[in-house]
Amino acid sequence: MRLRANAVGTSLIAIVLLALPWLLPAAKLNISLGTTVLLFALAASSVNILLGYTGLMAFGNAAFFGVGAYASALFAIHTVPSLLPAVAVGSIAGMLSAMLVGPFLIRRRGIYFSLLTIAFGQVYYFVAYRWNDMTGGEDGLTVQRPPLAAAKGVDDAQFYFFALAIFALFMVVLWYVLRSPFGLTLRAIGQNEVRARYLGIDTNRFVYFALTLSGLFAGTAGALYSMSINFAYPLLMDWHQSGDFVMMVVLGGTGTLWGPLVGATIYALGANVLSSATEAWQIAIGALFVACVLLFPRGLLGLGSRSGGAAPQSLAMEAGAEPVALAAQGYEPVAQRDLG
């Protein structure tokens, strides 16, 4: 029953996303709004890997997002003007930037981990802000969207489907990763790291790999975003942007596969639709965020979920240390299967 419900939900999401280029103009909205939703959802998923599954509150993912944006823009400007290689370079740059700061973060937990992510994120921000010769400084970099393969150009509709294909690919990868022994171990670390250590799991190593995967997701989102808006600027790395990504995850549902997409949709609609109606749109989004935290802390998609890919963090608390032990053996915990 649960698998059928998940399949139906995923199918509905796929249908809506495929139809969005026709639905948005019908609602008198620009198709670029749909692209923004996808890319913010991908960036929020990078936060969800750390917050929703590994149990680490990260406020520095905007740094990886911005590094990916700048790397893809610089590649398109100075080397090969091709869309796919530019995005690939941005993805790798975001991953490498996460790997660079990872050794300084993996031994810290709680508020110390969060503060360090903010600190390193601001380091990236000020480097981009001050390095005028490379990044354009405060003015940023203007880049023309490069063509895809032999095409002469990529319009907004074509770019939306290009972003949708990459988004779908990353969601499939994430779905498989979360059901692998590695993903089950990440969940167990988020649920009870002390038990994981007692069972012989090198939790710091798994946190480092989770941070690396998070950087890959954020870097890819940033690379696509700079190609979407034809611009890369330092504020993409600011901690306020990281806070927006965290808010999207909390609104949609931490530890859920599609929660970041729901949260990104709410945020993007607020920023692009409500902002045209009232200057107080941020107050409305903030009020909804507070309501989520107080009334349904699992987020909008976490209200009725108990297991599977959308499992809340309480699941393995009920199952004890089984997720860790079985993750090391490559099996799904019995408690998870029975609760389905």
The sign of the CA dihedral 137, 140, 141, 142 is: negative
Domains of the chain: 2-339 (1.10.3470)
Reported as type and span, the H/E element at residue 317 is: helix 315-319
Reported as type and span, the H/E element at residue 64 is: helix 61-78
Q: Please, what's the largest Cα pairwise distance for the chain? A: 59
Digit-by-digit pLDDT tens for the chain (340 residues) are: 666 767 777 888 989 999 888 988 888 888 889 999 999 999 999 999 999 899 898 888 999 999 999 999 999 888 878 889 999 999 999 999 999 999 999 888 888 998 999 999 999 999 999 888 888 888 888 888 888 765 677 788 889 999 999 999 999 999 999 999 999 999 999 888 889 888 888 889 999 999 999 999 999 999 999 999 998 999 899 888 888 899 899 988 888 889 899 999 988 888 887 777 777 778 888 888 888 888 877 778 776 554 334 343 433 333 333 444 444 444 444 333 333 3
The sign of the CA dihedral 109, 313, 12, 14 is: positive
Identify any residues that bridge with 231 across adjacent strands, giving them in sequence order.
142
